[in-house]
């Protein structure tokens, strides 16, 4: 029997090892002071041109990414307002997941400096933040994925114009209406990108006050279940929201401007109880 010597084959292998820092999370509340600012970058599908002036996300990310040495992040928030709607008062909860931060051990003082820098640019961006701090992955997901999202309530103030002179009886009707359940089909303005469903939503309470010198207009304050399309509640969206404010008053109604003034949400990025 012949003997053979076995030799192991030799290969040259080139290994490339890439190391990344784990994501960090930053959260707080944003206030949008100006109309014409979308929450995220908005590009026209027809022309490819930008719509609106900057965005909330860009105003915040520009500073946070620079401060943490990162090239990218994901933004999460408790809903969003339309581009022509301001977000006032305490602001809207949001959180960022910051990818591969080169300075992951930044201090609370560094984050406070980021908040000051964002706010110093608000005359240009129309965006301010408050309570900016490091938070957890769980809080990042919780701000936009709450199973109880539609149990929350939001408060608004609007200027409404009707097709006739507003009367004292109109204001009484508005004030006496509470816990009104409306059936809202997907609004015409977003039907191209959302399923056409009928959603029941509750108008919790309303009040109104005349505008001196404008007999056909008034200020409307309302508190609603989260997820209510307030513009459509006012004008009815050609019958796709019923009953509408116009239905209640027996006339045509249109919304001239709208502001969100409160989001009743106990989410807190720091994990501490929120102070009202």
**In the structure encoding, which two tokens stand for residue 215, read together?**
């007999």
| Residue 196 annotated to the active site | no
Task: Output the 3-class SS for 69-81.
Answer: CCCEEEEEECCCC
Distance CA 36, CA 40 (A): 12
Q: CB of 50 within 8 A of CB of 41?
A: yes
DSSP state of 13: -
Dihedral over Cα of 110, 115, 120, 122: its sign: positive
Cα 237–Cα 190–Cα 40 angle in degrees, nearest 5: 130
Angle at 160 between CA 159 and CA 165, to 5 degrees: 125
* Count of C-beta atoms within a 10 Å radius of residue 121: 15
**Catalytic entry in 34, 82, 90, 259:** 82
Integer Cα distance of 44 and 221 in angstroms:
33
Task: Write out the catalytic residue numbers.
Answer: 82
């Amino acid at each position: 029997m012949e003997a053979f010597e076995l030799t192991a084959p030799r290969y040259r292998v080139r290994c490339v090892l890439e190391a990344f820092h784990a994501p960090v999370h930053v959260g707080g509340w944003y206030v949008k002071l100006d109309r014409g600012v979308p929450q995220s970058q908005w590009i026209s599908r027809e022309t490819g041109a930008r719509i609106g002036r900057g965005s909330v996300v860009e105003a915040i990310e520009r500073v946070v990414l620079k401060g943490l040495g990162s090239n990218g992040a994901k933004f999460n928030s408790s809903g969003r307002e339309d581009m022509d709607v301001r977000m006032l008062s305490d602001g809207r909860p949001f959180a960022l997941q910051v990818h591969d931060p080169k300075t992951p051990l930044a201090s609370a003082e560094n984050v406070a400096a980021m908040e000051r820098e964002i706010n110093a640019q608000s005359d240009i961006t129309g965006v301010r933040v408050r309570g900016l701090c490091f938070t957890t992955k769980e809080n990042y997901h919780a701000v936009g994925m709450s199973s109880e999202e539609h149990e929350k309530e939001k408060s608004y103030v609007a200027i409404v114009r009707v097709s006739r002179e507003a009367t004292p009886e109109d204001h009484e009707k508005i004030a006496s209406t509470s816990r009104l359940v409306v059936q809202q089909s997907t609004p015409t303005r977003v039907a191209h990108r959302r399923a056409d469903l009928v959603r029941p939503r509750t108008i919790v309470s309303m009040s109104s006050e005349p505008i001196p010198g404008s007999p056909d207009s008034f200020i409307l304050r309302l508190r609603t279940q989260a997820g209510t399309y307030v513009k459509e509640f006012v004008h009815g969206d050609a019958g796709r929201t019923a009953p509408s404010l116009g239905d209640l008053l027996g006339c045509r109604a249109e919304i001239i401007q709208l502001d969100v003034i409160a989001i009743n949400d106990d989410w807190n990025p720091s994990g501490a109880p929120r102070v009202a």
